[in-house]
Amino acid sequence: MKLSELMNLPIFSGTRLVAGAQGLNREVNTVNMMDAPDIIHFLKQNELLVTTAFHFKEDLTSLLALIEAMVKQNCSGLGIKTKRFLQEIPMEAINLANKLNLPLLELPIETSLGDIVNKSLSFILDIRTNELHQAMEIHQQFTDQIMNGKGIQEIIDNVSSLTQLPVYLLNDHLMPTSTIDHSTLFSQLESLLYKGFSFHLSTKSLSTFTLIGEKHQTVTLFPVYTHKQYHYLCILGFIPLTDRTTILTIKQASNVIAFELMKENALKQNKKRIQNEFFTNFVNGTFSTSDEIISRGKEFGLKSGQRYLCAVGEFSEEDKKHSYLQYQTETDFIYDTIEFLAQNNEAKVHLFTMDQTFILLLELRSGWKDIEQPFISLLKRIQMKVSAHYQKDLSFGISMYAEELTNVTVSYKEAKDALYHGNMSGKKQFIELYQPKKVPEILRMIPYEQLKKFYDDTFQSFTDDTKKDHQVLLHTLSVFLETHCQLSETAKRLYVHRNTVIYRLEKCEEIIGRSLKEPDETLRLRLAFRIKALIQG
């Protein structure tokens, strides 16, 4: 309570304020009576000291030192009983108290200092008791709301009604946990964090600061501690420390919200573990049938007949060099950051983690080109936040889209392949799109011995060097396949008559023993010619 309120008690009747009138709004938590010579060493913050000034009756210097010490200690005020040891308060003390805005009270001689202390403390205790009862009632009210399933937002709305100010729940990065209208304010906060500014916020009490811009915005934050991290109740306005009722109410709301957040986090962690196990089994081919994949996928919001795009995110090798516990904790926080950004994305995004990677499955409602830039913009925002808040480089590989849920395993491998090629090229914090491999690239992935055997088996009938026309026939066959089996185009490229081409192709069919009109046979021959180029290349 304020000193001005305490002085309204009957026990202070006849008390005269002689100095420090501008300090009457000082907070009073306790009242003490002391006449010891070393009184300075026992001063407490927000304490009103009453004394007979016995030790200062002939020592003005010590009295002035006491006033200065009380100001440094942020005491509430000094009351001196005159007409006993001091006939009047020295003018030097009055001038100093006025200069330092420390209330200086002249207490009447007929008033007992013991009565002042007892009745003042009794009054303060009554107020604190009422505040405690009120806090318990508020805590019970908020707890009942949670138990009745009304959730955190109901408590936030109640706090907003009490303060007549907008109230939001922020995460540990001072970003709102739900979509809000005051995007300008939080964009300003985010911009400051990106620029390297730090907010040194109290984890014990409220913190207040003002953002300077077109419109100055004062923000008051109350810490909400949950397991391993802090959230904050954000009030868009100023809450004075003297408004104890409001502060107690908000603190009770913070406590209840903290327990609810911990409960939600426990449920969320369990759900995340189950869905990550599903995705791991899915891409590893554990499920035996498509029906089983579709059935299990429904549990996590994945739909059959839906097209999906897969992005896989991974930290750089340097950022992985941490202890398992530290890495796991950071991964959980980053997961929450990605999840929050993905929730605000226009198209639905499903999030999983597997083998130290983050997997994002994007539901495609239209063509890839229509959603390419918005999705890449989302990944860039994720990269920026992870870099700003955790100082880590997160890179992504993006797949081709899967026409069906059961094809997501292929998309996952494509995204991993794109991520691999991005890392091999020496890039950092990149977004790499999957590029379909060309035939020579695919063939190079097959061991040389198997390529050589396939080539020899295909053209073994043409290995008789005594038959000089074999090389001519092979060349004609190669050109014929390259021109998509067009006789006229083949004849044109070889500078021969069309009938000559027909004759040579008939000879090839006799040697091979199969018709060139069979698709499988022409495909085998085309592959053999590609392998020949690799072997001889």
Joined together, the tokens standing for residue 256 give 């209840």
308, part of any domain: yes
Residue 96 resides in a domain: yes
At 276, the pLDDT band (50, 70, 90 cuts) reads very high
- Could you tell me if residue 133 is inside a domain? no
At 35, which CATH number?
3.40.1390.20
> 3-state secondary structure string, 180-210?
CCCHHHHHHHHHHHHCCCCCCCCCCCCEEEE
pTM equals: 0.59
Same domain flag for 381 and 410: yes
Q: pLDDT, tens digit, for every residue of 473-503? A: 888 988 998 888 899 999 999 999 999 999 9
262-289: average pLDDT: 89
**Do residues 29 and 164 both lie within one domain?**
no
Residue 432 sits in the same domain as residue 292? yes
Q: Which of 147-161, 200-214, 299-313 has the highest mean pLDDT?
A: 299-313
Q: What is the pLDDT of residue 370?
A: 60
pLDDT above 90 covers what percent of the chain? 26
Distances (CA, A) of 265 to 27, 153, 257, 386: 39, 16, 12, 21
Pairwise CA distance, residues 396 & 382, whole Å: 10
Q: Is residue 71 assigned to a domain?
A: yes
pLDDT in tens, 320-338: 666 555 666 778 888 888 8
Closest CA to 17 of 108, 144, 105: 105
As for how many domains the chain has, the answer is 4
Whether residue 446 is found in the same domain as residue 525:
yes
Q: What is the pLDDT of residue 180?
A: 60
Domain that holds residue 460: 442-536
Residue 9 carries which DSSP code?
S
pLDDT > 80? residue 191: no
pLDDT of residue 537: 55
Q: What is the CATH number of the domain that holds 487?
A: 1.10.10.2840
Same domain, 79 and 192: no
- Tell me which of 537 and 158 has the higher pLDDT: 158
Closest CA to 39 of 24, 15, 59: 59
* Percentage of residues of the chain with pLDDT beyond 70: 93
**Same domain membership, residue 410 and residue 315:** yes
| Mean pLDDT computed over every residue of the chain | 85
The most confident of 65-74, 144-153, 165-174, 325-334, by mean pLDDT: 65-74
Average of per-residue pLDDT across 414-439: 85
- Within this chain, do residues 11 and 96 fall inside the same structural domain, yes or no? yes
Burial class of residue 396 in the structure, from the number of CB atoms within 10 Å of its CB (0-12 exposed, 13-18 middle, 19+ buried): buried
Task: Tell me: do 422 and 468 sit in the same domain.
Answer: no
Lowest mean pLDDT among 18-27, 39-48, 67-76, 127-136: 127-136
Of 407, 436, 465, at which residue does a domain stop? 436
**Residues 160 and 226 both lie in one domain:** yes
Amino acid at 14: G
Pair 87, 154 in one domain: no
- Tell me the CATH number at 206: 3.30.450.190
Residues 429 and 301 in one domain: yes
279 is a domain residue = no
Q: Tell whether 260 and 393 lie within a shared domain.
A: no
Query: Do residues 55 and 62 lie in contact, with contact meaning Cβ atoms separated by under 8 Å?
Result: yes
Q: Is 293 within the bounds of a domain?
A: yes
Question: Residues 164-180: what's their mean pLDDT?
Answer: 80
